[in-house]
């Protein structure tokens, strides 16, 4: 074999064939690919996070006029005398007058129920005065008849019944659960309309609901009417709810 047939072996070729060198280059290649992929995912994630920040939070309002479906009237009356038996007899007579009053108006007998009674005494200069108090409660779903009774409540005074403070009619709307779903939908629709106005101003579109909070339902007199001593609460109510909704912006 001549010297011309011998191939030179360089240090570089030998190093590339070493197992340790091959492992080093393999590891470096994997790291490079990982860094590229990681950078892409990080950048894409930042874009998604930026998109997620594009949101608007607004409030939606829903109101509905309703009529109460339950009327309750607590009637308090009393009689005072130096004779306990006389005071009790006067209260029994007042009770009969009240029962006759509601019967004349067409209420069934079980619409009126006793809710309490008490007796107090006061002594002055050796003379003891007894006060007997009685409470009756009317409960009815006949709102029109209840209003009629309130309008004629001073007929009881004409019959000699002394009505104490706190004897007033209260009207209640008990069917709130029946209208809650529709009112929440109305409030959400109102909130979306507000969000669309914001989106239009920023050349954006309104997307899905990001999160939402339902406010409390409020029931109050429709026209600012309120009950007080000598007057009755109003059967005409207004139901109100406000929701807070966050929408994503496209």
Predicted local confidence at residue 20, as pLDDT: 55
Predicted local confidence at residue 101, as pLDDT: 94
Give dist(CA 12, CA 40) in Å, integer. 35
Segment 206-223, tens digit of pLDDT: 888 888 888 889 998 887
Segment 17-73, tens digit of pLDDT: 555 555 555 555 555 555 554 444 444 433 343 445 678 888 999 999 999 999 999
Q: Please give the average pLDDT of every successive group of 10 residues along the chain, which has 250 residues.
A: 48 51 53 50 42 76 94 92 94 94 93 91 92 94 93 88 82 93 92 87 83 87 59 83 89
pTM score of the predicted model: 0.68
Bridge partners, 67 (sequence order): 236
């Amino acid at each position: 074999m001549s010297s011309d047939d011998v191939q030179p072996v360089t240090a570089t070729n030998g190093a590339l064939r070493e197992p340790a060198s091959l492992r080093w280059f393999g590891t470096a290649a994997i790291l490079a690919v990982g860094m590229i992929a990681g950078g892409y995912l990080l950048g894409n994630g930042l874009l998604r996070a930026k998109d997620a920040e594009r949101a608007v939070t607004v409030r939606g309002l829903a109101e509905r006029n309703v009529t109460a479906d339950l009327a309750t009237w607590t009637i308090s009356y009393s009689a005072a005398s130096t004779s306990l038996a006389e005071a009790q007899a006067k209260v029994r007579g007042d009770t009969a007058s009240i029962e006759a009053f509601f019967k004349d108006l067409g209420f069934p007998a079980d619409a009126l129920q006793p809710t309490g009674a008490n007796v107090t005494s006061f002594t002055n200069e050796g003379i003891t005065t007894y006060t007997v108090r009685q409470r009756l409660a009317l409960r009815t779903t006949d709102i029109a008849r209840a209003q009629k009774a309130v309008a004629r409540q001073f007929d009881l005074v004409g019959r000699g019944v002394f009505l104490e403070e706190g004897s007033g009619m209260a009207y209640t709307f008990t069917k709130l659960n029946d209208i809650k779903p529709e009112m929440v939908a109305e409030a959400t629709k109102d909130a979306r309309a507000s969000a669309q106005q914001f989106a239009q101003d920023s050349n954006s579109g309104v997307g899905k609901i990001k999160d939402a909070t339902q406010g409390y339902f409020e029931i109050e007199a429709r026209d600012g009417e309120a009950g007080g001593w000598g007057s009755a609460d109003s059967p005409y109510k207004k139901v109100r709810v406000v929701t807070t909704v966050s929408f994503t912006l496209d």
